[in-house]
Amino acid sequence: MVHQILALPRTDARLLVAIAGPPASGKSTVAAEVARQLTLQGHKALHVPMDGFHLDNAVLSERGLLHRKGAPETFDAAGFTHAMRRLSTEDEVVLPAFDRARDIAIAGVIPVDSSIRIAVVEGNYLAFDERPWNTLAEIWDFCTFLDVPEEALSERLVARWRAHGLDDEAAHARALQNDLPNARRILARRDPARRP
C-alpha cells in the first residue's frame, strides 16, 4: 500500500489516504503502520482516526441512539466531512480524537501542521455509499477497504470488549447486538468501487 501511495501524482495539497472497513477489521493498526512507513521514507504522514467524531453519549441518549453507538447516524458526519475538506486544503487543522477507555470524544487533540504531507485517515464509513458519507469519495486521493470475514470480526470484537472490562456474556452481547449489525451494514453499503 505504501508503494501505491507514493506512486500517486503529487500536488501542493496534502494527500488524503482513506482506510475503511468494519469495526475490528484492523484499520487503526494498518493506518498507524502506513503512516509510520511513509514517515520513515521521508514523507511525513499522520494517522487520523474518524472516531473523534462520535456524538457524545448524552446526545445519543437524547436521540434514542445510545444502544446503536457506532452506527453511521451516531457520528457527526457533516463535521467530519467538513474537517476532511479542511485537511485537504488548509495547512493547519486541529482534529478531535476518541478516548475509548472513557468512551468520549475529545476536541482539539490532534494538531496537523503544514509539515504533514500525507494524512492516513481511518474509519468505518470512509467508503460508505449513503449520504452524506458518500461525498467523501471525491476527497480521497487513495482509498482502500479492509475486508475481514465476519467470524474474525466477531472474535476480535468480543476480545476488545473483554479488554474494556466486560465479562464474557456482556462482551458477546455487545458484539452481537451492535457491532456486528454495524459491520454488516458497512459491508452491504460500501462504495461499489470498493466491492470485490
Distance between CA 13 and CA 26 in Å, rounded?
27
Confidence band (pLDDT; 50, 70, 90) for 139?
very high
Partnered with residue 97 across adjacent β-strands are: 106
Each residue's pLDDT tens digit, 80-118: 999 999 999 999 999 999 998 898 999 999 999 999 999
Could you please report the per-residue DSSP string of 36-100? Answer: HHHHHTT--EEEEEGGGGBPPHHHHHHTT-GGGTTSGGGB-HHHHHHHHHHHHH-S-EEEEEEET
User: Structural domain of residue 50, as residue ranges?
Assistant: 2-148
196, pLDDT greater than 70 = no
Contact 50, 126 (CB under 8 A): yes
* pTM metric for this prediction: 0.93
pLDDT of res. 3: 92
- CATH number of the structural domain spanning residue 100: 3.40.50.300
Is 177 within the bounds of a domain? no
For residues 22-44, average pLDDT: 97
Average pLDDT for the chain: 94
Contact 40, 32 (CB under 8 A): no
pLDDT of res. 195: 57
Is 164 within the bounds of a domain? no
Is 186 within the bounds of a domain? no
For residues 9-20, average pLDDT: 92
Is 73 within the bounds of a domain? yes
pLDDT of res. 194: 67
Domain count, the chain: 1
Each residue's pLDDT tens digit, 141-195: 999 999 999 999 999 999 998 998 889 998 998 888 989 999 999 999 998 766 5
